[in-house]
Amino acid sequence: MTDAHPIVRLETLALIAVGGFAGSNLRFFVMGLFPDVPSVVLVNAVGSAVLAVVVYEAEYTGHLTSRTRLVFTTGFLSSLTTYSTFALQAALASSPLAVVGIVAANYGLGVTGVLVGRGIARRIAGPRSAGGEPV
Protein backbone atom coordinates (compact mmCIF):
# COMPACT_ATOMS: atom_id res chain seq x y z
CA MET A 1 0.00 0.00 0.00
CA THR A 2 1.54 3.34 -1.04
CA ASP A 3 1.13 6.78 0.52
CA ALA A 4 -1.13 7.72 -2.41
CA HIS A 5 -3.73 5.12 -1.43
CA PRO A 6 -6.91 6.87 -0.19
CA ILE A 7 -6.95 4.99 3.12
CA VAL A 8 -3.34 5.94 3.87
CA ARG A 9 -4.09 9.57 2.98
CA LEU A 10 -7.20 9.49 5.19
CA GLU A 11 -5.18 8.04 8.07
CA THR A 12 -2.54 10.76 7.63
CA LEU A 13 -5.24 13.47 7.63
CA ALA A 14 -6.73 11.97 10.79
CA LEU A 15 -3.30 11.95 12.47
CA ILE A 16 -2.73 15.59 11.46
CA ALA A 17 -6.14 16.44 12.93
CA VAL A 18 -5.23 14.72 16.21
CA GLY A 19 -1.91 16.60 16.27
CA GLY A 20 -3.72 19.86 15.53
CA PHE A 21 -6.22 19.20 18.31
CA ALA A 22 -3.40 18.57 20.80
CA GLY A 23 -1.37 21.61 19.68
CA SER A 24 -4.27 24.06 19.79
CA ASN A 25 -5.39 22.80 23.19
CA LEU A 26 -1.86 23.09 24.57
CA ARG A 27 -1.71 26.69 23.31
CA PHE A 28 -5.09 27.39 24.96
CA PHE A 29 -3.78 25.88 28.21
CA VAL A 30 -0.58 27.99 28.12
CA MET A 31 -2.62 31.12 27.39
CA GLY A 32 -4.55 30.40 30.57
CA LEU A 33 -1.34 30.27 32.62
CA PHE A 34 0.33 33.47 31.44
CA PRO A 35 -0.73 36.89 30.13
CA ASP A 36 -1.54 37.00 26.41
CA VAL A 37 1.68 38.42 24.95
CA PRO A 38 4.13 36.32 27.00
CA SER A 39 2.12 33.14 26.33
CA VAL A 40 2.18 33.71 22.56
CA VAL A 41 5.92 34.44 22.66
CA LEU A 42 6.43 31.26 24.69
CA VAL A 43 4.47 28.94 22.38
CA ASN A 44 6.08 30.47 19.30
CA ALA A 45 9.62 30.11 20.71
CA VAL A 46 9.09 26.57 21.99
CA GLY A 47 7.31 25.60 18.77
CA SER A 48 10.22 26.94 16.74
CA ALA A 49 12.69 24.89 18.79
CA VAL A 50 10.66 21.69 18.47
CA LEU A 51 10.17 22.28 14.74
CA ALA A 52 13.93 22.64 14.35
CA VAL A 53 14.53 19.38 16.22
CA VAL A 54 12.10 17.56 13.91
CA VAL A 55 13.42 19.12 10.70
CA TYR A 56 17.10 18.76 11.55
CA GLU A 57 16.54 15.23 12.89
CA ALA A 58 15.28 14.37 9.41
CA GLU A 59 18.42 15.86 7.88
CA TYR A 60 20.88 14.31 10.33
CA THR A 61 19.43 10.87 11.07
CA GLY A 62 16.04 10.37 9.45
CA HIS A 63 14.72 8.14 12.24
CA LEU A 64 11.29 9.79 12.11
CA THR A 65 9.17 8.80 9.14
CA SER A 66 7.89 11.46 6.77
CA ARG A 67 4.36 10.87 8.05
CA THR A 68 5.47 11.30 11.67
CA ARG A 69 7.20 14.55 10.74
CA LEU A 70 4.05 15.69 8.92
CA VAL A 71 1.86 14.99 11.95
CA PHE A 72 4.18 16.92 14.25
CA THR A 73 4.91 19.84 11.92
CA THR A 74 1.62 20.34 10.08
CA GLY A 75 -0.61 19.04 12.85
CA PHE A 76 0.76 19.69 16.31
CA LEU A 77 3.26 22.54 15.84
CA SER A 78 1.25 24.58 13.36
CA SER A 79 -1.64 24.56 15.85
CA LEU A 80 0.57 25.25 18.84
CA THR A 81 2.31 28.27 17.32
CA THR A 82 0.37 31.30 16.20
CA TYR A 83 1.62 33.90 13.78
CA SER A 84 -1.84 35.47 13.44
CA THR A 85 -2.17 36.19 17.17
CA PHE A 86 1.38 37.54 17.26
CA ALA A 87 0.58 39.87 14.33
CA LEU A 88 -2.66 41.00 15.93
CA GLN A 89 -0.94 41.68 19.26
CA ALA A 90 1.67 43.78 17.47
CA ALA A 91 -1.00 45.71 15.55
CA LEU A 92 -3.00 46.40 18.71
CA ALA A 93 -0.01 47.28 20.91
CA SER A 94 -0.43 50.41 22.98
CA SER A 95 2.83 52.08 21.94
CA PRO A 96 5.56 51.87 19.31
CA LEU A 97 7.91 50.50 21.96
CA ALA A 98 5.44 47.68 22.71
CA VAL A 99 5.24 46.86 18.98
CA VAL A 100 9.03 46.63 18.77
CA GLY A 101 9.14 44.50 21.91
CA ILE A 102 6.48 42.06 20.67
CA VAL A 103 8.10 41.71 17.24
CA ALA A 104 11.63 41.43 18.64
CA ALA A 105 10.58 38.85 21.24
CA ASN A 106 8.71 36.65 18.77
CA TYR A 107 11.32 36.74 16.02
CA GLY A 108 14.36 36.82 18.30
CA LEU A 109 13.23 33.96 20.50
CA GLY A 110 11.87 32.08 17.50
CA VAL A 111 15.24 32.16 15.75
CA THR A 112 16.97 31.33 19.03
CA GLY A 113 14.57 28.38 19.37
CA VAL A 114 15.54 27.13 15.92
CA LEU A 115 19.24 27.34 16.80
CA VAL A 116 18.67 25.52 20.09
CA GLY A 117 16.57 22.89 18.33
CA ARG A 118 19.27 22.36 15.72
CA GLY A 119 21.81 21.90 18.51
CA ILE A 120 19.59 19.32 20.18
CA ALA A 121 19.16 17.44 16.89
CA ARG A 122 22.93 17.45 16.39
CA ARG A 123 23.43 15.98 19.85
CA ILE A 124 20.82 13.31 19.13
CA ALA A 125 22.56 12.48 15.83
CA GLY A 126 25.96 12.11 17.45
CA PRO A 127 29.37 12.92 15.95
CA ARG A 128 29.50 13.78 12.23
CA SER A 129 32.34 14.03 9.76
CA ALA A 130 33.16 17.25 7.91
CA GLY A 131 30.87 16.14 5.06
CA GLY A 132 27.94 15.59 7.41
CA GLU A 133 28.15 11.80 7.37
CA PRO A 134 28.01 9.82 10.63
CA VAL A 135 31.44 9.07 12.08
pTM of the full structure = 0.84
pLDDT in tens, 49-91: 999 999 999 999 999 998 899 999 999 999 999 999 999 999 9
Q: 134 forms bridges with which residues in the sheet?
A: 128
Q: Mean of the per-residue pLDDT values for the chain?
A: 91
Other CB atoms within 10 Å distance of the CB of residue 69: 16
76 contacts 19 by C-beta, under 8 angstroms: yes
- Contact status, residue 37 vs residue 103, Cβ threshold 8 Å: no
The SS3 call for residue 128 is: strand
- What does the alpha-carbon distance between residue 61 and residue 64 come to, in Å, rounded to a whole number? 8
